[in-house]
Chains A and B, each alone.
Chain A
Amino acid sequence: MSAMTSRKSRRLEFRTSEAEYDLLAAAAAEAGTSVSEFVRSLVVESARRLVEERRIVRISSQHAAEFYAALDDESLVPQLQELARQSPPELS
């Protein structure tokens, strides 16, 4: 896929085979929408799912004990204590 920038929105172009295009056109017609809107909505939805995966972090069972111990650690973080003492940034 290549991306070209316009002012407010962006244009995406990509190549596909005749057979794939016919399939997309048929599916878009089925969905009652244009090919580009059909493709756009599905691609955006897939991208959103991918981004949402970032919100899940998996810890394997081998590291579970280490993780749980850290979760209940209440020791101070000296760097954060220092940060909390700093005065807010001054803007000129």
Chain B
Amino acid sequence: MAEPRFELLEDRHLTGSFDCGEPSLNLWLSDHALINQSRDLSRTYVAVDSGNGQVIGYVALVTAQVLVEELPHSQARGLAGLDAIGAVLIARLAVDRLLQGRGLGAWLLLRSLRLCVEVADRVAVRAVIVDPLNKSATDWYARYGFVPLPGREDNRMWLPIKRIRASL
């Protein structure tokens, strides 16, 4: 019995048999994750089974921005009446079908959020945003305290870094 390893995706990682049940997430890991990483477009962290070296889960992190429209009287503050807030977007998070239901997704989320706090300690990042694919993913993030962004009707949810930092 061993804890999975949490590692930055590299060429050597065995991703070929990864199947989370969602073809778009499988394809992204097998075909796009490393390329995006080499272009500094995203960072993918994988959960590796230390027994057989297989990748059993992954999470992809990118930078994001929250653009807040300022009220007319405060427009002098920001560029073009917009205030830009730095954020990390958890763009994708997936767990292999064979290991779902064991808390591996929650563990990937925890490790990612700790990483977000480390990043925020060094570079100005004030929020973590998630982009759930569907209703069950929305419910899953809500279980860990993520809430919809104010006034938005899409799926995206968030937590401020201050609350994450205070809680972990």
A and B interact physically: yes
Query: Is there a chain A Cβ closer than 8 Å to B63's Cβ?
Result: yes
Interface residues of A in 42-91 (CB under 8 A from B): 54-64, 66-68, 70-81, 83-84, 86, 88-91
Instruction: For A88, list chain B residues within 8 Å (CB).
Output: 3-4, 107
Instruction: For A71, list chain B residues within 8 Å (CB).
Output: 85, 126-127, 160, 162
Query: Is chain A's binding surface mostly helix, strand, loop or mixed?
Result: mixed
B150 contacts A86, CB within 8 Å?
no
Instruction: For A2, list chain B residues within 8 Å (CB).
Output: none
B89 contacts A59, CB within 8 Å?
no
A70 contacts B69, CB within 8 Å?
no
Q: How far is the CB of A8 from chain B (nearest CB, A)?
A: 9
Q: Count B interface residues, CB 8 Å.
A: 54
Q: Give the number of residue pairs across the A-B interface with Cβ within 8 Å.
A: 135
Query: Is there a chain A Cβ closer than 8 Å to B135's Cβ?
Result: no
B163 contacts A74, CB within 8 Å?
yes
Which of chain B's residues has its CB closest to A65's CB? Answer: B71
Task: Give the docked Cα–Cα distance between A55 and B162 (Å).
Answer: 21
A70 contacts B64, CB within 8 Å?
no
Which of chain A's residues has its CB closest to B129's CB? Answer: A57
Q: Which residues of A contact B (CB under 8 A)?
A: 54-64, 66-68, 70-81, 83-84, 86, 88-92
